[in-house]
Amino acid sequence: MTKCPVCSQVFQKGDYESLAKHLASSNDKNDPFHVSWLKDYIPMPNYNNPDFVVKLKEFYKLPEGGLKTWIASKFVQRFFSEKPHPFIEAMQRPKKAIFIGFGVEYYFFLKQKVKSLAYVIAKTDKDDVQKLEARIIMPNILYNYEENKSEMVLLIKMLEGLGISRESLANSMPLPPTIYSLKIWNSISESDHWLECMSAINTMELFTCPQLKDYGAKIPFFSPSVLDNEWIPDSVKHYLKFISDPANEHSMDAIDIISNYAKELNMTEEVQSAFLRSLDATERHLQARLTRAKQYESK
Ligand SMILES: [Zn+2]
């Protein structure tokens, strides 16, 4: 079945005509979520024009490289295109505040990721899926502060190096756009199929995937010159080195698994919808990182 990428309303498999009607009528009713999704992904002056269905089908059509290429390309278009996302742009010439904004908001995402991937493990019997997810979440649950072997530890230490204590991090709350995004990720994890949950969560590790440039990324997640910058605390450099080490990043392995099971279980459209809902949630979460950074800048 096809699902609306904004509100998850369900349509018959391949029924893009009904999905187009639903999106157009939500746009006519000025529903802010549908309006902004259309504006961002399929900008058109009039959604009641018959061309809209054609464009919608094109948007979902799998390219030669299949679902893997479709996912990676959509991710790149959203965040790493000629006009990159303002957060990615800010990471090219970062200031102290941007690492704080990034770290504090992302801390909540990382906790949600552990929870969501645990749902995947619980919902499937597939060994390859369970092994991959366990490899990602175990170091972030069973960590030891003395060892720099987990993203969670290095993230917390990065923030400590920037003056944010463990206590104040534990007592902080995510900003509203991150809260909104966490709700989306949690709802997909709780209510949807494990493959949809993987499609929403594992794909968002693509930010630091070294192969992203093969899919058209114009810039990396952060400028490599950051690592030579003298004023940047070592704790930040350790964290950035850790997340950009290919050994600690599993997005392409996950997307290979997702693509195989999407074929086997005939769930390509569900995978596309879950990925798109998560892409949108991530965009909001990146805005929260910028807002948080601005709050620290003005202190
Ligand atoms: Zn909808």
- Per-residue pLDDT tens digits of the chain, which is 299 residues long: 899 999 999 999 999 999 999 999 999 999 999 999 999 999 999 999 999 999 999 999 999 999 999 999 999 999 999 999 999 999 998 889 999 999 999 999 999 999 999 999 999 999 999 999 999 999 999 998 888 889 999 999 999 999 999 999 999 999 999 999 999 999 999 999 999 999 999 999 999 999 999 999 999 999 988 888 888 999 999 999 999 999 998 999 999 999 999 999 999 999 999 999 999 999 999 999 999 999 998 77
38 and 74 share a domain?
A: no
For residue 8, how far is its CA from the centre of ligand 1 (angstroms)?
6
Q: How far is CA 158 from CA 73, 118, 169, 191, 240, in A?
A: 31, 25, 12, 34, 9
- Residue 274 has a CB neighbour count (10 Å cut-off) of 28
Q: What letter does residue 192 receive in the DSSP assignment?
A: S
Please say whether the beta carbons of 262 and 203 come within 8 A: no
For residue 48, how far is its CA from the centre of ligand 1 (angstroms)?
16
Q: What letter does residue 15 receive in the DSSP assignment?
A: -
For residue 7, how far is its CA from the centre of ligand 1 (angstroms)?
4
Number of domains into which the chain is organized: 2
For residue 275, how far is its CA from the centre of ligand 1 (angstroms)?
15
Q: What is the pLDDT of residue 148?
A: 87
2 and 78 share a domain?
A: no
For residue 9, how far is its CA from the centre of ligand 1 (angstroms)?
6
Q: What is the pLDDT of residue 203?
A: 98
Q: What is the pLDDT of residue 277?
A: 97
Q: What is the pLDDT of residue 1?
A: 86
22 and 108 share a domain?
A: no
For residue 42, how far is its CA from the centre of ligand 1 (angstroms)?
14
Cβ neighbours of residue 261 closer than 8 Å, sequence gap 6 or more: 126, 129, 195, 267
228 and 252 share a domain?
A: yes
Place of tokens 């269905």: 53
Q: What is the pLDDT of residue 94?
A: 87
For residue 17, how far is its CA from the centre of ligand 1 (angstroms)?
13
Place of tokens 């995937």: 209
- pTM score of the predicted model: 0.96
Q: What is the pLDDT of residue 297?
A: 87
Q: What is the pLDDT of residue 154?
A: 97
For residue 56, how far is its CA from the centre of ligand 1 (angstroms)?
14
The residue among 75, 78, 97 whose CA lies nearest residue 291 is 97
Quote the CA–CA distance of 37 and 9 in Å, as a whole number. 15
147 and 262 share a domain?
A: yes
70 and 211 share a domain?
A: yes
Q: What is the pLDDT of residue 165?
A: 96
Domain containing 251: what range? Answer: 63-297
Which of 26, 43, 61 corresponds to the end of one domain?
A: 61
Quote the CA–CA distance of 129 and 120 in Å, as a whole number. 8
For residue 91, how far is its CA from the centre of ligand 1 (angstroms)?
33
The residue among 63, 67, 102, 61 whose CA lies nearest residue 85 is 102
Quote the CA–CA distance of 89 and 219 in Å, as a whole number. 9
Structure tokens at 131: 């092994």
23 and 84 share a domain?
A: no
Q: What is the pLDDT of residue 293?
A: 97
